[in-house]
Chain A
Amino acid sequence: MRDVEQRDMKRQQTVKQGAQRNGRAIPRRRDHLERHARWVLPLPAVLFIVVMMLFPVIYTVKNSLTDMNLTSGAATSFVGLANYGALLRDTRFVSSVWRTCYFTALAVGVEVVLGVSIALVLHRESRGKNLVNAIFLLPMMATPVAIAMVWLLMYEPTIGVANFVLQSFHLPAGLWLAGSGSVIPSLALVDIWEWTPMVTLIVLAGLSNLPSDVYEASRVDGASPWQQLWRITLPLLRPTIVVAGLLRFIDGFKTFDIIYTMTGGGPNYASETLNMYIYEQAFNYYNFGYASSMLVVFFALIIGITLFITYVRKTWEV
């Protein structure tokens, strides 16, 4: 006990001596900083996140409670939840939400199935595998607007290659982007072409991390390759697939570039997704208050669906 006390005193003395080294005392502030280094050091990063990420969100929520409009010429006033009430009565808004879900489900569903299948094929050891990998990743690297322009030409009903292909198989020509019913599947096809490689890439990474001993054991037990796929590979890959799907869902829900470039939301709002409608309200009609309320709903939808998927994944341990 005494020993400990003595040692403590000795240490304090040393600290004191150290603090007064060169005849100068360490300023108290510096001492304070050193003691709270674990709070001080991450502070710039925390401030950055607050300013760059949290502030816009708070500002949007604040705007969504006002009638901010650049064309009215009047001062902005607080309107409470009136914008949110108006949203429920706005048929253009409600249909744009459904349209966004339809587009996302269609695109992401196909991307996941296709992406996993391609990854399973590419995972096998074969000659020229790297070359094939590189080619598969090309669509992901291209600029979305450039992709949209090329697909726009391909979809052109009179001179486009899409109808040429259909007709050479004696199928009826389609309207593609010009048809109210076909415009969303046509846009989803572009998204699928562009983003399936990303799912493939993630799943390939997951595949290379699977333990090989499980496969060896199953082979000893006489499992067929088909059984291996359904009983081992896919269950083990499930977390990876869920993550890939989740990432694609968030991105797909927010798709703007290809729709803006290819149809502008037309014909007659048939491809106007939530993001397109928000853009229209904010930058063409200048209804910033109303557009902000839609953004808040949009944000809540994405967070809600993401949390739901994560919850399901944890609860059912998929």
Chain B
Amino acid sequence: MSVFRSLRTLQSTAALALCILPVLAGCGSASKPVNSAKPYAGTTIRVLFANHPWTDAVKPLLAHFQQQTGITVKAETYGETQLSQKLTVEFVSGNSDVDVFMNRPLQDGQLFQKNGWYTDLKPYVTDSAKTPADYDFSDFSAKAVSTTTIKGKLTAIPVVVEHEVLYYRKDLLQKAGLQVPKTLDELQKDAVLLNAPGDHYGFIARGMQAAAVTQFSSYLYSEGGDWFDPATKKATLTTPQALAAFNLYGKLLHDSGPPGVVNMNWPQAVAVFAQGKAALYTDADSIYNNVLDPGKSRVATETGIAPFPAGPNGSVPYAVVPWSLSMSATAPHKGAAWEFIKWVTSKSITRAIQGGSAVPEARTSVYKDPAGVAKFPADFVATAQAEANGKSFDRPYIVQVVQARDIIGTVIVASIQGQDVTAAADKANTQFQALLDKEP
């Protein structure tokens, strides 16, 4: 019996020892000196990217990041609408393990900030222990940073910038004896003169309801209008300036555009231009590659880029941050996540992306560096600099921006279809006002 008891004691001692062992082992590894150069080695972070040339440029560089820091990036890529939906649903569920995500500050920013889905990056940027001085945050254009700063919080680091520009066919203008249009009046006249259906159209731009809104914005601003008065939160879609802009945009496409334009988003519109089927085209400068790359465009050598034509209010194009990089509020690896954001938005990587893949970025120093602009056409750089002071939003910067774009888009389509613009604007203004009244 006593033998039996002692056996049992031995058994329990062994069990106890087995339980303690891992704890001791844990102590041992903790007491080992931490590799100060790679404090997050072995961490895996989840990063959500959008389908964008910037992402294509970043992905091949990820191996370097892993080498440098020991952090593995688990990358997922989605289309822009799917990305917004994916992030919203994940964050609402409350147990998202996303660390870093690309997002559109003008489309998602207000909503995500209101719901507390961002980590404020200001403490990271200002803390010299987390961010060395050579990161040089002041190098980002102040306008870009103001877009991603909402209510004093730095919600994201801007990565891509874009402006609305005028693409034109040098050969067609020359043949018609015309200069590059400098005003919206000239644009309208030239579009009619250059219109030769059967061979090519005078003008092309996005005509699809919600998609057209952002490219219409520069017309609105240059005519002297705006979406709403920020002070009183009153919709201003029926002001004489706004009506002039709606009429102009619709008339351009109705009189000198292709017949199916109301179903065209930018991929369809840019295809029409790249096929040599249009003489003038207004859209974002960030898609210039589709027009100027001989592999993608039939008119690469004949195309020029000019600043957005001036209206009664001057030339007021948008100059926006379409994409930025954020850290999720619930990120499980915030330290490693910041390492990644810091690395991918650093001067050297920005130069590598912009210089190598010609994706226009938000750091100002890269434009002064010959290596940073080597791949851009000369008129692209000149235009981007001329438009740097444009408006920092190309759509109403509100929480319910998706609905707002649908509502405003109806006026644009009505105008293209030659319907009563004033009636359409009246209706849209009422609906837009109802939306604004619900804004926080």
Contact = CB atoms under 8 A, between A and B. Distances in A.
Interface of A: 70-71, 73, 155-158, 173, 175-178, 180, 263-264, 266-269, 280, 283-286
A267 B115 contact: no
Contact of A156 (B89, B260, B262, B417): B260
B111 A268 contact: no
Contacts of B208: 264, 266-267
Interface in B386-409: 399-400, 402-403, 406, 409
Contacts of B92: 70
Contacts of A286: 88
Contacts of B399: 71
Nearest to B208: A266
B408 to A, nearest CB: 12
A177 B263 CA distance: 8
Contact of B413 (A157, A264, A267, A285): A267
A70 to B, nearest CB: 5
Given A158-B277, A268-B414, A73 B262 contact: no
Interface of B: 81, 85, 88-89, 92, 111, 114-116, 208-209, 258-263, 277, 399-400, 402-403, 406, 409-410, 413-414, 417
B80 to A, nearest CB: 12
Contacts of B417: 180, 267-268
Contact of A176 (B260, B403, B410): B260
The 10 closest A-B pairs by CB, nearest first: A267-B262, A157-B259, A178-B260, A157-B260, A268-B413, A73-B115, A70-B92, A284-B402, A268-B410, A267-B413
Contacts of B414: 268
A265 to B, nearest CB: 8
A71 B260 contact: no
B259 A175 contact: yes
Nearest to A283: B85
Contacts of B114: 71, 73
Contact of A285 (B89, B263, B400): B400
A71 B400 contact: yes
A42 B260 CA distance: 56
A266 B259 contact: no
8 contacts: A157-B258, A175-B259, A177-B263, A178-B261, A267-B209, A268-B413, A269-B410, A285-B400
Interface majority SS (helix, strand, loop, mixed), chain B: helix
A96 to B, nearest CB: 13
A318 B260 CA distance: 45
Contact of A158 (B88, B115, B258, B402): B258
Contacts of B262: 178, 266-268
Nearest to A155: B260
Given A176-B260, A178-B260, A286-B88, A268 B209 contact: yes
A286 B81 CA distance: 13
A29 to B, nearest CB: 37
A161 to B, nearest CB: 14
Contacts of B413: 266-268
Contacts of A180: 417
Given A268-B409, A268-B410, 8 more contacts: A71-B115, A158-B259, A175-B260, A178-B260, A178-B263, A268-B414, A268-B417, A284-B81
A91 B277 CA distance: 39
Contacts of A71: 88, 111, 114-115, 399-400
A284 B111 CA distance: 13
Nearest to B84: A284
Nearest to B85: A283
B403 A285 contact: yes
B263 A70 contact: no
A173 B260 CA distance: 12
A185 to B, nearest CB: 16
A158 B269 CA distance: 13
A266 B277 contact: no
Nearest to A175: B259
